[in-house]
Amino acid sequence: EAETETVGALVVNPASYAAAHPAGGSLAALRGRAVAAGPGGDVPSRGTVRVRLPEADLGWLPVVAATGETMSGGASLLLPPGLAPPALLAASPTRAFVSIEDGADPAAVRAELAAIGEVSDLDGWLTADAAARSSTNDKVMVMVLGLGGLYALIGVVNSVVIGAAARRREFAEARVTGLTRGQVARSALLESFGVTVAGLALGAVAAAATYVAVLTTTAAVTGSATLDVPWSLVAGVAGLTLVVTSVTSLVTSWSATHRAPVALLAAHE
């Protein structure tokens, strides 16, 4: 049974690729009409695969090497020079890793390379590459979280409205004791604010377990514990929650206290 996979392919210089990725295994056999399984997975480490490029059908090619899958992914198929059509390569992006010899001036090397193309240091390139790889996942995640957050927000608003509407007599008793309508509304606002803060704190505690798992996993796989928290999104969600619950509490408590407290208490005698 044949299976078709759409994967990314990378034309590499086998010796240079092995030098830049020393943990990836030997690519000495990658030449002629042979291919290698790249770090992105989806390609068997042995056997043959039929490769179709956007402008050429390369036919059945043997898989002679494998670099092993990596956590960050990458190209699923590695091709040797001369196998892909030159016209396709001319329209494709090119990336080169440059090592600076001891004693060389990094600024001078960077200036000379800038005449060929865009230059970036390793940390900058890794940051940009990670952002590009996670862009699609982030958009999908935001859509999913947006729908879940909307339903949760509706539930929160309903809870605040129902809770305040059921306290009409309590509000009336507070006003009879001397509190003004505004003071009753402010006390309900303070209660709502406290409950919301407590809910956000409990949510943070629940999320902390996931953060610990992420730190443990990245430390085991890469040797360095890594966690990138979207603080702007967290702050936005927390701020929106506080605003919505506060406004809902004010509107509901103000509406629940519009009747004279004596009339409301008399109705319950």
Q: Euclidean distance between the first and final Cα of the chain, in Å?
A: 80
pLDDT of amino acid 202: 92
CA distance linking residue 206 with residue 197, whole number of Å: 14
CA distance linking residue 24 with residue 223, whole number of Å: 17
Band of the pLDDT at 151, cuts 50, 70, 90? confident
pLDDT of amino acid 95: 82
The CA distances from residue 49 to 52, 61, 62, 122, 158, in Å, are 10, 5, 6, 33, 57
pLDDT of amino acid 24: 64
Ramachandran area for residue 259 (φ above 0: left; ψ -120 to 50: alpha; else beta): beta
> SS3 of 205, please?
helix
pLDDT of amino acid 198: 92
Those residues whose C-beta lies under 8 Å from the C-beta of residue 9, and which sit 6 or more positions away, are 38, 51, 53, 75, 76, 77, 78, 79, 84
pLDDT of amino acid 72: 65
pLDDT of amino acid 201: 92
Q: Which single residue is written with the structure tokens 């890794």?
A: 126
Tokens of 15: 């010796």
Which one-letter amino acid corresponds to residue 9?
A: A
pLDDT of amino acid 94: 84
> SS3 of 51, please?
strand
